[in-house]
Structure 1
Amino acid sequence: MWKKVAFCWCFVFGYACAEPIDTITPTLFTYYTESYAPANYVENDVLTGASVDTLKLIWRDMGVAEQSIKMVPWARGYRNTLKQPLTVLFSMIRTPERENLFKWVGPIFTNSLAFISSSDFNHDINDVKDTFEYTVVTVRDDVSEFELIKTGFPKLKMFSVTKLDQALKMIKSKRADLMLLTYESLPALVVQNDMSESEFKRVWTLSVNGNYYAFNRSTPDRLINQFQQALDNVREQHISVLEQHGLSL
């Protein structure tokens, strides 16, 4: 019995990973995203956002029916896409450390990774090392956490949470001094949490980054090329979608 199970598992894994197999199509993928407006979020019980709407354009150009998208915590989506064939996670900042862990389609949009504080934070931040005096909250396994660690930030002053709204509430309640997130997400985030954008401010921009669709490393190159070509084909509509969500390439 176990031999049969092992054989079937190996067959499925081989099927998913063998590049020459032409029967692998976009309909076989599991698509993961997180709640991170304006790229991906739920509005009136419908999943939308710049990355979601652009993916729908890509599917349409490829002649593929709209597929199911699973909204999960970032850490889970990242782990599954890293380990499981036929998986996609979006949108992901493409960093040198991640370059060879995934295959990439994009860019979808560009955004800035910035330190955010409450509006009454009255300390000057002129360099990333100036933040070392304060506590910072990040989303677990998100690029914000990885990039903060790279700066040499003291881990004892770093809080890790699973969702962005938790981080925002920690800033508002003064349980942390700063949070690190993509600045373009702040307007939608405060609305979702019944807060005002005037309660917060950007104090320092750490980096400006491109965001991509990240595919499991075993994905055949021909499929990556098909997705990329479809994205290129819908460029005009893609830019229109970004503008609707307050983003740009």
Structure 2
Amino acid sequence: MCYRIALLFTSLMTAIALMPTYADEVDVVDDKPLPKLTLLTENFAPFNYVEDEQIKGFTVDVVEHILAATGSSQNRTDMQVLPWSSAYQQGLLRPDTMLFTLIHTEHRDPLFRWIGPLVPTRVVVIAKRNMEFKAESVEELAGLVIGTVSQDVGEQLLIEEGFAVRNIVSEDSPKKIVEMLKRNHLNAIAYDDISAFWYLDHIGEDLDKYEIVYILQESHQYMGLSRSTPKWVEDKLQEALNQLKYSERYREMISQYPVIEHALYPTN
């Protein structure tokens, strides 16, 4: 019942987010400074996460750089780390809001303004190797109890493809679901592959004990702006990102995160 209420609320919020706004009609970039943005993120290592009371990660580095490149004085001290469900809802509705890191899907496409792409990603179902199980479709996952992060893309894709909601255990952080998988409280988890294996590694698990049993979607990671944010803000930030991606500084940023470097340059 609670899940159905949450789903109805999300549908209502989505409808509001898609209402036409004056910002959608403006397509002119000028030299005026960026508005102060609400910068929302979550614990989604190694892209954005809190460690030793400091916010860090690859996307954090990128966001901070492109803000500075546009003349903004905002930096990582202005970023708020929230549970994903809360950050996502605010990102849908709140003007002048940036949400990151955001995986692109067909369903999400009209809901945000997209700045990217950043890193190629796969949204996957991961289980312990000793299950000796592989799936060719979501239907073949039936009967499994799968952990997700609330309103994360893994959860959204499972539901969109008809997976039974009663078999989804929805939590507020990736660390919780990987811990539950470790303790055999779940059969599998649905999450970004890079991040899932990062968390498994950081709780001391042998990664060879786990495997991808199904790929829900291959996509890219982006930064998202709420639809009511003016189009010129999107254009200005995208231009700053494009310039960064063609610079040596970008490669230096990537080199700080070996798992991301491997995703971008798999032959290295």
Q: Alpha carbons of 1:123 and 1:152: their partners in 2 closer, same or farther (altered >3 Å)?
A: same
CA distance in 1, matches of 2:140, 2:133: 9
Alignment counterpart, residue 168 of structure 1, candidates 178, 186, 196: 178
Partner of 1:140: 150
Q: Deviations over 1:140-181 (max 9, x none)?
A: 111111101111112221111111111112211222111001
* Mapping for residues 79-118 of structure 1, pairs under 5 Å: 79-118=89-128
RMSD, matched Cα = 2.5
Moved more, 67-76 or 44-53: 44-53
- The amino acid across from 1:244 in the alignment is Q
- The amino acid across from 1:238 in the alignment is Y
Question: SS state of the match for residue 133, structure 1?
Answer: coil
Q: Deviations over 1:200-227 (max 9, x none)?
A: 2222222211111111111111111000
Unaligned segments of structure 2, at least 5 residues: 1-20
CA distance in 2, matches of 1:109, 1:22: 29
Conserved 8 A contact 1:113-1:183: yes
Shift of 1:133: 2.9
Q: Deviations over 1:77-122 (max 9, x none)?
A: 0111111111110011121211121111111211111111123222
* Greater Cα radius of gyration, structure 1 or 2: 1
Q: Percent identity?
A: 25
* Mapping for residues 1-249 of structure 1, pairs under 5 Å: 25-26=33-34, 28-67=36-75, 68-235=78-245, 236=247, 237-245=249-257, 246-247=259-260, 248-249=263-264
Give the aligned length.
236
CA distance in 2, matches of 1:22, 1:226: 9
Q: Deviations over 1:50-92 (max 9, x none)?
A: 1111112212322323421100000000111111111110011
Task: Give the alignment's TM-score, normalised by structure 1.
Answer: 0.85
CA distance in 2, matches of 1:196, 1:102: 37
CA distance in 1, matches of 2:171, 2:128: 18
